[in-house]
A and B are shown apart, each in its own frame.
Chain A
């Protein structure tokens, strides 16, 4: 099987195939950097145009866009606190404070190097694990996926930060949004008020653009005369060879976050944003001074960006082997594969080894190219966004948001919906409600509901079905550890200080 891997290599270095990856990476960075335009959207717009192309040209473009966009999202996340893609939300936590402290250039360098490392790790995971891992994924039936979602919801607790009550309210809002639309089993509509457009539920991109992109833009426009623009000099950019040594001690975070990203990618449903959040939390927990996090800790950027690129290729492991995409982007790419007659499954590796392994190589090269293309593009061109007058910048972003949201389904309804969420986000921001739990509540709430109901149907109403196998029990144990662990730790620390006094 692995000999096919080497066999596919020469194909990839064909001029057009290689060029496709380069164009893809550049396009991906640009798309990712624009709030509202996600990798999912870029690739879904691209798919229809690739019908006439050779499979590896089309797939190379997609692999490049995927890798590029996952990094591109970091640029506005760092410079403007606007995540360019959903997966870049965690990047704003420390990236934006760094930019305010005049370390925006370094934050972007950390982001591009970390993204590249995550992407490379993920591409290797795809190459080496795709065939054998198909069996592991099969262990995840509805009750197991339900527990994975519960595990994710439990880990939101770490995101609540200062005010757990506000955090929980945010999470509940997200779960409520997940309930809108036709229910996953019977198709009854819930909270749609007869709107056909709401039958499929709230598209995550629309929610994210409204919630995350609009409030900061309003702030930009509100204070057009404020002169705290971070100029190029304040960006603090220095050559990458000088910046690299400063990142040496990130290696543990890179390693840990790559693993987290790869695993989250493989699990169906949980995508880049969850990978980024989880890896951010884990890195923070492992850190010696967790209090500095959120105030401009470069390692936080490294953790988030490594993980959101590490889930890219790995999300294709279940997609290629089983036809279950791990993320929304993987779902769109799966569509792209099908268009070129590549049916996912074990047969894929037998019937089209050159294409499928060639595609994996393209992923790897896309990740490597990211440092070269992303490094210069980001620090030299995109960072200058900051020098634009604020009203101009705000208006450009709003226009891009409107175009992006409109182009998802080509309808104004989504634009109004986005503006509505923008208003909600603005109010939440003013009242200091955290936004990340909303997103996680939306993704995980929907997953938990659907899979719980499927599991109960399989068990014919008997709740014991949820505890009927080892995989479920392992995830339950992990969930309990996530909830109880920090409490015990706190108690231990307290009793220790009490003993000392």
Chain B
């Protein structure tokens, strides 16, 4: 009798404690794993967003950014996928790169390994040409590529990234053929363009924002014009239905407790309306497009389908 009372009390206490853990979330620092080095685009996004997330989580919440660079972000994101789903490990997530990694090499995670919190940045692609190439409009570019298949060399950051998907969309849309020259990152690709070593380049608007005088920027892959370059026409305006970009956001491991997930989602949702946050992101040339929760998951799935389709048809390695 005495024992069973004691037993019941212990169970009761445990239940209360269990409920209290979720209610008090977060009661210790939350680690945010960034799969790239400090100072890079994804790192800057994470560090810019962190204080705002802390503010919206309330109760003295603290986010600690941890850089785990390597293997195009694969090391960091794998760590997130395998972490305890207790809400104390979050991570950054890049599209389409993270999904392409699951297709072009062996990966210990998949689209189902995560709780999708929010995509924060959507950095649209632009097509640029070298001043030396003599190509100044999309029509000229397409004509040149049609007349001499493969003659136009395209500098971009790497295979299986957003730049590459943009080119594939362009080739499919215009039935043309280009020669890809994949550099190790966008900066060397941009420099090769400025030096006239490649004719055309696919970059992101944030990467050319301050280089518009040195390169011919032909258009931007958005549905509406970008605030970063209001004079730059979209491709759709020029008769080419091309929308593509590099996305960066936040995920957690799959299987978060429901109330923790709800609390995190509520915090991330408020980023969109925070003028101070938007200004901080604009200052680092990061176009913000917040997509939260299930919409983010759907977006990821769509991109995976696209990448898989491309891979099945024309594998890039």
Contact = CB atoms under 8 A, between A and B. Distances in A.
B194 A322 contact: yes
A197 B74 CA distance: 10
B187 interface: yes
Interface string A142-182: 10000000000000000000000000000000000000001
B317 interface: yes
B176 interface: no
A345 interface: yes
Contacts of B65: 48
Nearest to B213: A346
Contacts of B71: 182, 196, 199-200
Interface in A187-210: 187-189, 194, 196-197, 199-200
A47 B183 CA distance: 26
A184 B317 CA distance: 11
Contacts, number: 110
Given A141-B192, A322-B191, A409-B70, A335 B38 contact: yes
Contact of A187 (B38, B158, B197, B198): B158
A341 B44 CA distance: 10
Size category of the binding interface on chain B: 35 or more
Contact of A196 (B74, B194, B197): B74
Contacts of A231: none
A142 B158 contact: no
A196 B187 contact: no
Interface string B285-315: 1000000000000000000000000000000
Size category of the binding interface on chain A: 35 or more
B62 interface: no
A187 B194 contact: no
Interface in B170-192: 179-184, 187-188, 190-192
Interface string B191-217: 110111110000000000111001000
B317 A338 contact: no
A347 B210 CA distance: 7
Nearest to A469: B197
B1 interface: no
B47 interface: yes
B209 to A, nearest CB: 8
A335 B40 contact: yes
B180 A199 contact: no
A100 interface: no
A319 B240 CA distance: 35
Interface string B53-92: 0000000000001011111101100100000000000000
A77 B226 CA distance: 54
B106 A194 contact: yes
B195 A138 contact: yes
Interface string A33-67: 00000000000100110010000000000000000
Contacts of A137: 191
Contacts of B223: none
A498 B57 CA distance: 87
A338 B44 contact: yes
A345 B214 CA distance: 10
B181 A323 contact: no
A338 B39 contact: yes
Interface string B228-250: 00000000000000000000000
Contacts of B37: 44, 332, 335
A324 interface: yes
8 contacts: A140-B195, A196-B70, A200-B69, A200-B71, A336-B39, A338-B284, A409-B69, A454-B183
Interface of B: 37-40, 44, 47, 65, 67-72, 74-75, 78, 104-106, 108, 150, 153, 158-160, 179-184, 187-188, 190-192, 194-198, 209-211, 214, 283-285, 316-317
Interface of A: 44, 47-48, 51, 137-142, 182, 184-189, 194, 196-197, 199-200, 268, 322-324, 332, 334-336, 338-339, 341, 343, 345-347, 409-410, 450, 454, 457-458, 460
Given A137-B191, A142-B197, A339-B44, 7 more contacts: A141-B196, A182-B71, A334-B39, A336-B39, A338-B44, A339-B38, A409-B69
